[in-house]
């Protein structure tokens, strides 16, 4: 389950400010394809609901859906926007 600043793994690096997902310590925490799928989902949700859903919520939704897709349990992600 997600805890603390887990969603910070989704942030991209900027010049002079390396992101957590690019850190040697965290690689390979997620495959590049996983980041691409999460970015695609974020873009689609953002297009439908601009500035409404947080990074943590995106990650929760992706975690829930991927767990279910891989044969794990299905559970609801509460609809909050903070």
Could you report the per-residue pLDDT of 26-77, keeping only the tens digit for each? 666 667 777 788 788 888 888 988 887 777 777 777 777 777 777 877 777 6
CA atoms within 13 A on the CB side of 73: 4
Domain count, the chain: 1
Residue 1 exposed, middle or buried by CB count within 10 Å (0-12, 13-18, 19+): exposed
Say what the pLDDT of residue 15 is. 92
DSSP 5: T
Whether residue 16 is annotated as binding a ligand: the answer is no
| Predicted TM-score of the model (pTM) | 0.55
In a domain, 30, yes or no: yes
Whether residue 12 is annotated as binding a ligand: the answer is no
Domain boundaries, position 37:
15-69
Whether residue 13 is annotated as binding a ligand: the answer is no
Say what the pLDDT of residue 82 is. 47
Whether residue 8 is annotated as binding a ligand: the answer is yes
Say what the pLDDT of residue 4 is. 52
CA proximity to 39, closest of 11, 70, 5: 11
């Amino acid at each position: 389950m997600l805890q603390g600043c887990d969603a910070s793994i989704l942030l991209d690096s900027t010049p002079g400010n390396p992101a957590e997902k690019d850190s040697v310590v965290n690689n390979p925490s997620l495959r590049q394809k996983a980041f691409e799928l999460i970015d695609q989902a974020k873009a689609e949700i953002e297009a439908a609901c601009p500035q409404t859903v947080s990074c943590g919520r995106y990650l929760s939704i992706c975690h829930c859906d991927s767990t279910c897709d891989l044969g794990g349990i299905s559970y609801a992600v509460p609809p909050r926007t903070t």
